[in-house]
Structure formats: structure tokens, C-alpha cells
Amino acid sequence: MPQGFFLDLTPKTALVTGGTRGIGKAVSRLLAQCGARVAFTYRANEAAANGLVREIRDAGGEAMALAADAGDPGQSRQAVRDVVAAWQRLDILIVNAGIWEEGRAGTGALDVWDRTFAINARGAFLVTEAAIPHLEREKGTIVYVSSTAGQRGESEHAAYAASKGALISYTKSLAAELAPRGIRVNCVAPGWVDTDMSASALTGESRRAIEASIPARRVASAEDIAGPILFLVSDLARHVHGEILNVNGGSVLVG
């Protein structure tokens, strides 16, 4: 564990969906640094997945990469089974896999709507349902990665905003239902984050305008989101249930 860290997650086991880039990659690294065994899913980039596994193992951690399409029921269930088969437990589920696609209202972009909900919302449901029996046994925790867009909407990205809003409602519903069973359920709501997914919007004048719209006057890094997730899965948050933790530099407070 690096000097300065005091959160010890040994011998907990975590599954992170969408772990090869952005927030998923940052949180996988951080969980491993704090002693957790980390499995993460990826959809296509096997080279990036293998690279992250090597990085974590070289630093003395334990990691595995699992190829899985978030919207596929069989693959989501198999990812959970693989983690439990390898490490005999599952304590932490981070549901991060998601897509962000433009879809203008009135254009009939049903494909964008269906694809977005298949990954962002249906995918969250599938992996959660598979994980619950194992998390219940370990008194584990779930964190969903939602978005500021899920709280206030986003022009020309209605499918994304609606799917992330669904995660917020899902968080609150599950938190009430699963708390008596020993499972904590919470959510982080990032705003703009400097990742591959948002790279096309975060350039030149567009980036400067976005930064000006954020009270903190900067775009978050993936690590800025990973830290609050770590808090939520740790025992420091043992009495936190159903929380939507805004990690967006104050963006949700302004129009």
C-alpha cells in the first residue's frame, strides 16, 4: 500500500465494470493500491485490459480482466461467477460501464436510446442481480457511476441523461431494500471528466466554455472520481445508504 493511504481493503474482492479506461481504470488502480483484489470487465480492448492487469500485479496487487458485454445477461453473470470462482468471495461492486452518444430529439434515434439503455441501465441491473447473493454473504457494497446529467438532464443526450437518472432511482430503491440484508448501495454523480469518452468535447473553445461553467473552474480527472468511490466502499461510509454523491466541482448547483 503506497505511503499516505490508510484505507485497508484487504482481503476484500472487487468487481469493476468497464475497467480499462477513465473512471473504471482509476478506481481499479486505487482499490488495488488499498489491498483489494480487483477484477474488471472490458468489452473489446484486450491489450488495454492486459496492460492494467500487469500494472496492478507489478505493484504487488491481484487483478484479473474479464471480457464481458455489459448488456449481455450470460456474460454479466459469468463475470460474477468467474470472480467468485477465483477468489471465493465478492465484497465490492462498482458499476461503471457506460456509453455517451448524441441523439437529437425528433430524429427518431431509437438505436441510440436502445443501445444506451442496454449498457447503462440494463447492464447495471444484470450485473447487480448476479452479484447480490455474494454481496449479501459478505455484507458488501455497491456503487453506481451516474452523472450530473442524470439529475438535471443534458441537451441532445436525452438517452444518456435518462439512463443515468434511472441509476439514481435504482440506487435509492436498492438501498432501502438491501440495507436490512447487509448490503450498502450508493452512487457517485460526476460532471465533466477528462476521459476518452468525453475527449471530443473537451478541446479548444468548447473546453474553455465547459470549464467556465463549472464553479471550481476545472474539469475533473478520473482520479477525482475514484477517491469518493473508495470512500463509499470503505468502512468510513458504513452508515451511508442511498446517497447520490456529487463529484462535479459544483456543476449541479448552477444552471
Active site residues: 160
Nearest-angstrom CA–CA distance, 251 and 255: 8
What is the residue-wise DSSP string for the chain?
--TT-----TT-EEEEES-SSHHHHHHHHHHHHTT-EEEEEESS-HHHHHHHHHHHHHTT--EEEEE--TT-HHHHHHHHHHHHHHHS---EEEE-------B-TTS--HHHHHHHHIIIIIHHHHHHHHHHHHHHHHT-EEEEE--THHHH--TTBHHHHHHHHHHHHHHHHHHHHHGGGT-EEEEEEE-SB-STTTTTTSSHHHHHHHHHHSTT-SPBPHHHHHHHHHHHHSGGGTT--S-EEEESTTGGG--
Q: How many CB atoms lie within 10 A of CB 227?
A: 15
Amino acid at 112: V
The answer to whether 146 and 170 are in contact (CB under 8 A) is: no
User: Please, are residues 38 and 28 in contact by the beta-carbon 8 Å criterion?
Assistant: yes
